[in-house]
Amino acid sequence: MTLLRMQTTTLTTADGTLVCSSCLLAIRPWQRLRGLLGRSGLAAGEGMYFRPAGSIHMFFMRFAIDAIFLDRDLNVIDVERGLQPWKMASRRGAKVVIEVADGAAAGVQTGDRLVLGTIEG
């Protein structure tokens, strides 16, 4: 079985602050199911965009992440910082979740609007 190559994009705040320079798009069921499993970490600027998603789990993960919960218009509902392996997180009203390296969402706050860049791949 061949795995589909995942598309990537950039993710910034509305004022242009870079949140994720290489954000993988997990928009198909298998991509969302697999997520970051099997990886030992995220490089600086790397992340994953899950749509649709209102919750995530960290079962079998090996590292902590920051999870950014967004509504359908990419407005930040909340940020779960330092989410550890074997934990779960969800937010009411979330339609998209962005997973970035632990600490990478330091500049993201509730109420911010995020913007996807050009999709590549």
Query: Is position 1 within any domain?
Result: no
* CATH number of residue 53's parent domain: 2.60.120.1140
For residue 51, give both structure tokens.
């749509």
Query: Is position 89 within any domain?
Result: yes
Residue 78 domain boundaries:
8-116
Q: State if pTM tops 0.75.
A: yes
Query: Is position 2 within any domain?
Result: no
Give exposure, 14-24, as e/b (b: 16+ Cβ within 10 Å).
Answer: eeeeebbbbbb
Query: Is position 121 within any domain?
Result: no
Which pLDDT tens digits describe the chain residue by residue (121 residues)? 334 568 999 999 999 999 999 999 999 888 888 888 878 889 889 999 999 999 999 999 999 999 999 999 999 999 999 999 999 999 999 999 999 999 999 999 999 999 999 887 6
pLDDT at position 2 is 37
Query: Is position 3 within any domain?
Result: no
Query: Is position 75 within any domain?
Result: yes
Radius of gyration of the chain (CA): 13
Looking at the 3D structure of the chain, how many domains does it have? 1
Vertex 15: Cα angle to 9 and 21 (nearest 5): 25
Measured over the CA atoms of residue 19, residue 23, residue 25 and residue 29, the dihedral's sign is negative
Query: Is position 105 within any domain?
Result: yes
